[in-house]
Amino acid sequence: MAQAQTLARRTPMSSVDRSWFRMESPENPMMISAVLIFEQPLSVSQLKRTLDERFLTFRRFQQRVIQQGDRTYWQDDPLFHIDNHVHRIALAGDAGKRELQALVSDMNSTALDFRRPLWQIHYIDQYDGGCALLVRIHHCIADGISLVRVLLSLTDKQAEPTLRKIRSAGAPGLPARPGSVVSRYARRLFETGQTAREQASLFMKSLRSEPGYPMKLASTAGSVSLDLLKLSLAPAEPKTCLNPALSGRKQVAWADPLSLAEVKVCARALKGTANDVLLCAAAGAIQKHFNNTGEIPPECGIRVAVPFNLRPLNQPIDTLGNQFGLVLVSLPVEVVNPIMRFRQIQDNMNRLKRSYQAQVTYSLLDLFGRGPDVLERRALSLLSEKASAVLTNVPGPKEHVYLAGAKLKQPMFWVPQNGNIGIGMSIFSYAGTVQFGITIDRSISVDPEAAMEYFRDSFTELYTHALEKQDQVDQLSEDQTAKALEVG
């Protein structure tokens, strides 16, 4: 009877989530982490109540990971208590940003406790007149975009919190429904057959309405195969100061926010996107590092792995899990002129948007998660050798939000790096600002604080050139209009 109850509370981990679970290493703990800085101190009891009302409705946060042979499961933690996951600490005396960054660096170098559900929140008292939260959640629970949305769902648009429960439906976040093994397999078989019938019906409908559909389908399959071939044949990253052997000790830093309005003005002037502008600023920051160390940037530039969301942003947050792929973005760090650098990045991003690389990498993670551990590690090592850094860009709320009555002043998020990648760069938009942060392995000779200055200087340089270019275009347009009037 007890064994049947245990099985009822256990659900298999998906193959993609299992891939991220098995990526854990001493050099790169697979944690998504966030630092949330508030203007006022939080009530810890109110924080716990908010977590209980909104966060813990996702069953994943009350389940630990267990392994039996080659199988991995989520199982309810019989000893779960929120006090095992929410801890209150304080910085000494007049500690400021540097001391907070040192604390976050130390915590992000430390793995989570695998005997318990894989998340922790540290409430940091006495920081800058308010407080800060350090949140760490294992990547196998969900992807970064989903977890950011979950964390933001804890907040309110006004200071007075309105506690509400988030409906968490659907089986990967809930335990298996009671029932016999035969009934579970029968239900799965029925769902698979129903899906197959729906797909066949959709195919026949497309065939009737669009006679060229089979050719289009074949073309898509060919494009996917070509992207898979390109990914597998992409050369390894050139050896530079950015990819030495890793130590496993992290250093984090974050910059003062940029104005999102200025980023958009720059993008409009260059007829590109805000994402293109920010990627160009990141490339410029890396170039400035090469210049200041005297190392010549690789002639082919470098590549960064960028998570690409495969989950619709308007989809309700009802299930967790990983639903994203990775795309390799080339950053032309060897190009000195910021406008030319921007154009190259813009072209690279436009090509990637038309490709199936994100779907290919997601499928590979699914495949690796089903195979033996040795095969996955070898395949992921091959993939990690094709990038020098991980870079994320996540959109956040357009207005300030509040948690347990306290105003969120500055948020920062980081996703983990895998394999032998030791640099993670994070971009997050919030309340009319753009936050930029970095995490670097200590073996890499990059000063995190200097990298923050490089990023800001690189953006300022691009912004100045973009406005000058826009002024030239406007002047030319005025001259042409005046000449046309004279002729008329």
Residue 439 lies in a domain: yes
Q: Which amino acid is it at 16?
A: V
Q: Is 181 exposed, middle or buried (0-12, 13-18, 19+ CB in 10 A)?
A: exposed
Is residue 235 located within the same domain as residue 115?
A: no
| Predicted local confidence at residue 261, as pLDDT | 95
- Domain boundary residue among 110, 131, 152? 152
How many Å apart are CA 286 and CA 242, to the nearest integer? Answer: 9
d(CA 306, CA 268): 23
Is 313 domain-assigned? yes
Q: Taking a C-beta distance cutoff of 8 angstroms, is the pair 385, 237 a contact?
A: yes
Where residue 92 sits, what CATH number does that domain have?
3.30.559.10
pLDDT tens for the chain, residues 1 to 488: 444 444 447 899 888 788 888 888 889 998 899 999 999 999 999 999 999 999 999 999 999 999 888 789 999 999 999 999 999 998 887 778 999 999 999 999 999 999 999 999 999 998 988 999 999 999 999 888 788 888 888 999 887 755 554 444 433 344 333 344 444 444 444 434 444 444 445 444 444 555 543 443 344 344 444 444 444 445 677 888 898 999 999 999 999 999 999 999 999 999 999 999 999 999 999 999 999 888 999 888 888 888 766 666 566 666 777 666 677 888 999 999 999 999 999 988 887 766 655 555 555 555 555 555 555 555 565 666 788 898 888 888 999 999 998 999 999 988 888 778 899 999 999 999 999 999 999 999 889 999 999 999 999 999 999 998 776 655 555 545 545 545 55
Q: What is the number of other CB atoms lying within 10 angstroms of the CB of residue 131?
A: 23
pLDDT of residue 360: 54
- 255-292 burial code (b ≥16 CB/10 A, e <16): bebbebebbebbbebbebbbbbbbbbbbbbbbbbbbee
Q: Give the separation between CA 328 and CA 349, rounded to whole angstroms.
A: 10
Give which of 404, 406, 408 is closest to 46, Cα–Cα. Answer: 404
pLDDT at 20: 81
Q: Which amino acid is at 452?
A: M
Domain boundary among 88, 117, 152: 152
Number of domains comprising the chain = 2
Residue position matching structure tokens 């996702």? 58
What is residue 8's predicted lDDT score, i.e. its pLDDT?
46
**Could you tell me if residue 181 is inside a domain?**
no
Question: How confident is the model at residue 207, as a pLDDT?
Answer: 43
Helical axes 373-384 vs 357-370, angle rounded to 10°: 150
Residue 219 lies in a domain: no
* 452/314 same-domain check: yes
Residue 188 inside a domain? The answer is no
* Domain contains 173: no
Q: Which domain holds residue 27?
A: 2-152
11 falls within a domain: yes
Shared domain check, 356 and 241: yes
| pLDDT value of position 320 | 76
Domain boundary among 90, 118, 152: 152
Asked if residue 198 belongs to a domain, the reply is: no
Biggest CA-to-CA distance, the chain: 95
Give me the pLDDT at residue 355, please.
60
